[in-house]
């Protein structure tokens, strides 16, 4: 009888191990998408003079946004400027630099560049600046506007907790920490 019980539990144990499978997510690549509104155009088509060919031309802001989005999911690293690790100002420094637009390396110096604009006039490619420290009195965070849909402004940036992500300015923390917007393009 004891032997039958032992065999019964052994069979349940052996077959049970194959039924339960732990789902792992660490091997999956994270992707971030940003929905465009109907009046956002990522590309424009232009006819070449004396030609029947049409060439697709990306706007400068779209090229910069594409450069920044290539770092989506990259972990945060203070002072980082590579796919191994990126900080907020490094993300913009590299993205603008790849498109031949030089920017200072740190966010509080970036905030001195370009023209200050009203939040209602923000468009793709503009910069958003934040003060995220309770004690600090200077700008210490920057993001790049990737989409505007009415009052909802989406921006890409590197956070110390989640790496390079797209956030909304309507989120409580970012709305509270927002200081100003500038246009460098």
Catalytic site positions: 88, 141, 157
d(CA 63, CA 74): 19
- Separation in Å, CA 131 to CA 37, 68, 142: 29, 21, 9
d(CA 106, CA 90): 8
Residue 91 near residue 71 (C-beta atoms within 8 A): yes
Nearest Cα to Cα of residue 180 among 147, 142, 137, 152: 142
Element (H, E) at 85: strand 85-86
The two beta strands, 54-58 and 43-47, are: antiparallel
Residue 167 near residue 174 (C-beta atoms within 8 A): yes
d(CA 91, CA 95): 6
């Amino acid at each position: 009888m004891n032997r039958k019980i032992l065999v019964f539990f052994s069979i349940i144990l052996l077959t049970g191990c194959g039924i339960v499978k732990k789902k792992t997510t660490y091997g999956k690549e994270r992707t971030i998408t940003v929905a465009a509104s109907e009046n956002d155009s990522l590309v424009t088509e232009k006819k070449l003079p004396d030609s029947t060919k049409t060439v697709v031309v990306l706007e400068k802001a779209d090229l910069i946004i594409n450069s920044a989005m290539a770092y989506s999911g990259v972990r945060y690293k203070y002072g980082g400027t590579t796919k191994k690790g990126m900080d907020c100002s490094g993300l913009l420094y590299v993205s603008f630099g790849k498109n031949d637009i030089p920017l200072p390396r740190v966010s509080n110096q970036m905030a001195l560049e370009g023209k200050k604009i009203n939040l209602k006039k923000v468009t793709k490619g503009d910069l958003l600046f934040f003060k995220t420290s309770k004690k600090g009195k200077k700008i210490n965070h920057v993001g790049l506007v990737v989409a505007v849909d009415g009052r909802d402004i989406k921006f890409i940036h590197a956070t110390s907790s989640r790496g390079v992500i797209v956030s909304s300015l309507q989120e409580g923390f970012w709305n509270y920490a927002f200081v100003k917007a500038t246009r460098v393009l």
